[in-house]
Amino acid sequence: MKKKISLKDIAQKVGVSTALVSYVLNNQKLDRISKAVAKKIRDTARELDYRTNQIARSLKTSKTNTIGLIVADISNPFSSSIARLIEDEADKHGYTVLYGSSDENAERSNKLVNIFVNQQVDGLIIAPTEHTEAQLVYLKKNDIPFVLIDRNFPGQDMNYVGIDNYGAAYKLTQHLIDQQRKRISIISFTSTLQNLADRKKGYLECLRANGRTADNALIKEVGLLFQKEQVEQAMQQLLNLPEPMDGILFTSNTISLYALKYLTTVNIRVPTDLAVVAFDETDAADMFYAPVTHIKQPLPQMAGIAISTLMKNIAGNVAAIEVQLQGEMIVRKSSVE
């Protein structure tokens, strides 16, 4: 490895102290420093191709200008879209992003949190998975700034930005009802995560508000892991019912994906036989022969709020905020005859 240039090298070459070099290169005390020396320092720095050693600076200033981002799985389009937006927002503030995928696994999430904390990130943005409350409480207790996205733990007084999942599911369900669908099914997640549970709640509440009784045979749940197999099984069971559903709500982009793929293998026409609505916008659901009516989350806004909240928290302690944005329902062919 080639020797790296330090302040000391510049100082020696110019014949001044490292302090002076530091001041000049950081544009500090410029009113006190002679123009000639300043120029010489700058020229020499350029000539030697000096690069600030951020590690050393971070050690001294205890600021790394780095944030940690934990998503469920960066290869999921929801995660990578929000990650990209967060990256751009962070960049505007001079921050670089460290990232990791938790795989919906509390242990792995914990490992990532530890790595990031030891790496001295200035703050974290986390899409939390189940059973990670303790980690978050730990962060809070240690005054490490963080913002939750997509999912949260209510009543814990933590920064959060996401959408109104209850309302979104309600809207989708109502839409199916408005389209004269009689037997409306749902595939949601078995999860202790409030936000995912809210999607089912919105569905149930909407049915009730429309004077319908929920039919348990039409309500399926899958785990966050092994979704493919479970979704296929759920679809199979639903379609084999004596009286199958004529409308269905998928509560995530992955559930949609696997379910739609399954639908292409059986003889069911969307929307004629089955009207489909779902959460999240994806190219795949868009490419389905009947593009899917869905809830579009305001990701750019979410990323913006997440980062600006984090920046405020890094700058100084402020009260936690919980932001719930509204998802927009995009109506497409999959639900309209």
Sites of contact with DNA (CB under 7 A): 4, 6-8, 15-20, 22-23, 25-26, 28-29, 31-34, 37, 50, 52-53, 56-57, 59-62
From DNA, a second copy, none, which one binds at residue 155 (CB under 5 to 8 Å depending on kind)?
Answer: none
**DSSP code, position 4:** P
Annotate each residue in 273-312 with x if it binds a second copy (CB under 8 A) or - if it does not, as one string. ---------xxxxxxxx-----------------------
From a second copy, DNA, none, which one binds at residue 8 (CB under 5 to 8 Å depending on kind)?
Answer: DNA
Q: Does 320 bind a second copy (CB under 8 A)?
A: no
Q: Which of residues 29-68 bind a second copy (CB under 8 A)?
A: 51-56, 58-59, 64, 66
Annotate each residue in 246-265 with x if it binds a second copy (CB under 8 A) or - if it does not, as one string. -----------x--xx--x-
β pairing state of 184-189 and 293-296: unpaired
CA distance 249 to 265: 19
Helix (H) or strand (E) holding 290: none
Question: Helix 35-48 to helix 7-14 angle, to the nearest 10 degrees?
Answer: 130
CA distance 212 to 55: 62
Q: Does 97 bind a second copy (CB under 8 A)?
A: yes
Minimum CB–partner distance for residue 164 and DNA (Å): 42
Which range touches a second copy (CB under 8 A), out of 7-15, 21-29, 97-105, 182-190? 97-105
From DNA, a second copy, none, which one binds at residue 249 (CB under 5 to 8 Å depending on kind)?
Answer: none
Shorter beta-carbon distance to DNA: residue 32 or 141 = 32
Q: Does 26 bind a second copy (CB under 8 A)?
A: no
Whether 161 and 302 have beta carbons less than 8 Å apart is answered as yes
94-132 burial, b at 16+ Cβ within 10 Å, e below that, comes to ebebbbbbbbbbbebbbebbeebbeeebbbbbbbbbbeb
Minimum CB–partner distance for residue 31 and DNA (Å): 7
Q: In 3D, which of 252, 254, 251, 260 has the Cα closest to residue 291?
A: 260
Classify burial at 74, counting beta carbons within 10 Å of its beta carbon; exposed 0-12, middle 13-18, buried 19 or more.
middle
Minimum CB–partner distance for residue 192 and a second copy (Å): 25
Shorter beta-carbon distance to DNA: residue 24 or 295 = 24
Residue 309 has phi, psi (to 5 degrees) of -65, -45
CA distance 77 to 71: 11
Q: Does 321 bind a second copy (CB under 8 A)?
A: no
CA distance 277 to 249: 5
Shorter beta-carbon distance to a second copy: residue 104 or 198 = 104
From DNA, a second copy, none, which one binds at residue 44 (CB under 5 to 8 Å depending on kind)?
Answer: none
Q: Does 272 bind a second copy (CB under 8 A)?
A: no
From a second copy, DNA, none, which one binds at residue 100 (CB under 5 to 8 Å depending on kind)?
Answer: a second copy
| Helical segments of 26-76, H only | 35-48, 54-61
12-31 burial, b at 16+ Cβ within 10 Å, e below that, comes to ebbebeeebbbbbbeeeeee
From a second copy, DNA, none, which one binds at residue 26 (CB under 5 to 8 Å depending on kind)?
Answer: DNA
From a second copy, DNA, none, which one binds at residue 261 (CB under 5 to 8 Å depending on kind)?
Answer: a second copy
Q: Which of residues 107-146 bind a second copy (CB under 8 A)?
A: 114-120, 141-144
Q: In 3D, which of 285, 282, 332, 290 has the Cα closest to residue 179?
A: 332
CA distance 281 to 292: 9
Rule CB under 8 A: which residues touch a second copy? 1-2, 51-56, 58-59, 64, 66, 73-77, 79-81, 83-84, 87, 91, 96-101, 114-120, 141-144, 257, 260-261, 264, 282-289
